[in-house]
């Protein structure tokens, strides 16, 4: 989130000003999930400019908070598996993003921007709609 997830208004202004800027969510669900209304509006508006990311390799169980934040309406859940989370002692909320936004964030944006990703996805027999921009 351009290392400024606490101020999505400013990040949005940067995205408007710099058409080649894209952001990703690695290590930022703690901040995004604290502001579910603002974050959801941001994801809806800039769906073509946001990439899914994590802060390192993650086993499937450690991705559960990411999935819950992006895909559900769950309320007041922990963003980390540790008793003492790394960024603060608060919980987060789900954004309940629509499928079309999730497809872009999870795959389509990376397929469009990063050379070789689309071919790797397709070589594994996965179906993701490509959208050119």
Summarised one tens digit per residue, pLDDT across range 46-81 is 999 999 998 878 788 889 999 999 999 999 999 887
The mean per-residue pLDDT over the stretch 26-49 comes to 97
**Any idea what the Cα angle at residue 13 is, between residues 73 and 52, rounded to 5°?**
45
105 DSSP assignment: I
- Predicted local distance difference test score (pLDDT) of residue 81: 77
Structure tokens at 98: 């629509």
The beta strand positions in 6-133, using DSSP E, are: 23-24, 50-51
- Predicted local distance difference test score (pLDDT) of residue 87: 79
Q: Where are the domains of the chain?
A: 8-123
Q: Report the predicted TM-score, pTM, of the whole model to 2 decimal places.
A: 0.89
User: What's the CA gap between 129 and 76, in Å, rounded?
Assistant: 33
Burial (CB count within 10 angstroms: exposed 0-12, middle 13-18, buried 19+), residue 30: buried
| Contacting residues for 83 by C-beta, under 8 A, at least 6 apart | none
Q: What is the pLDDT of residues 92-126, one digit of tens each?
A: 999 999 999 999 999 999 999 999 999 998 898 87
34: left (phi over 0), alpha (psi -120 to 50) or beta: alpha
- Predicted local distance difference test score (pLDDT) of residue 130: 53
């Amino acid at each position: 989130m351009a290392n400024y997830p606490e101020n999505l208004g400013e990040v949005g202004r940067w995205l408007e000003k710099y058409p080649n800027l894209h952001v990703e969510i690695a290590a930022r669900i703690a901040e995004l999930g604290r502001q579910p209304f603002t974050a959801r509006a941001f994801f809806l508006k800039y769906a073509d400019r946001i990439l899914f990311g994590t802060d390192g390799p993650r086993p499937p169980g450690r991705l559960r908070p990411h999935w819950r934040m992006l895909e559900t309406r769950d309320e007041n859940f922990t963003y980390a598996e540790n008793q003492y989370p790394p960024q603060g002692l608060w919980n987060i909320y789900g954004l309940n993003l629509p499928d079309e936004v999730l497809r872009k964030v999870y795959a389509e944006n990376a397929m469009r921007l990063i050379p070789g990703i689309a071919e790797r996805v397709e070589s594994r027999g996965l179906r993701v709609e490509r959208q050119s921009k």
